[in-house]
């Protein structure tokens, strides 16, 4: 899995690429948290548009970042989820804690 982190205007975007499972989630968490704790972004965007598969470790990654961002008053937006991954996020309750953004239409759910 690859990770690209961008900082712009108080927002931090973590764009992930490849499968997100228990083998890759730990490294992603460490890299995202390391940067986020330094810059304390008001908005943390987790971009999944290049993630074809994730298991429950991906849900854990999202929920953990929600808790971390809450420590400094930040919020988390999740974007680029495929229909299958979006359904998983909704069923797990992620949509109650983070904004699920539909990047195709720019609408929020």
User: pLDDT band at 64, cuts 50/70/90?
Assistant: very high
Q: Which superfamily does CATH assign the domain made up of 2-108 to?
A: STAS domain (3.30.750.24)
pLDDT number for residue 60: 96
pLDDT number for residue 89: 94
Q: What is the pTM of this model?
A: 0.90
User: To the nearest whole percent, how much of the chain has pLDDT over 70?
Assistant: 93
* Interior/surface letters 42-58, b for 16+ CB within 10 angstroms, e for the rest: ebbbbbbeebeebeebb
Domain ranges of the chain: 2-108
């Amino acid at each position: 899995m690859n990770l690209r982190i961008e900082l712009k205007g108080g927002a931090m975007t973590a764009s992930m690429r490849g499968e997100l499972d228990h083998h890759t989630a730990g490294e992603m968490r460490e890299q995202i948290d390391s940067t986020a704790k330094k810059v304390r972004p008001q908005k943390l965007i987790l971009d999944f548009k290049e993630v074809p598969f994730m298991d429950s470790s991906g849900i854990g990654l999202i929920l953990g970042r929600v808790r971390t961002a809450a420590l400094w008053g930040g919020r988390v937006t999740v974007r680029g989820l495929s229909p299958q991954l979006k359904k998983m996020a909704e069923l797990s309750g992620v949509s109650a804690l983070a904004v699920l953004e539909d990047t195709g239409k720019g609408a929020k759910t």
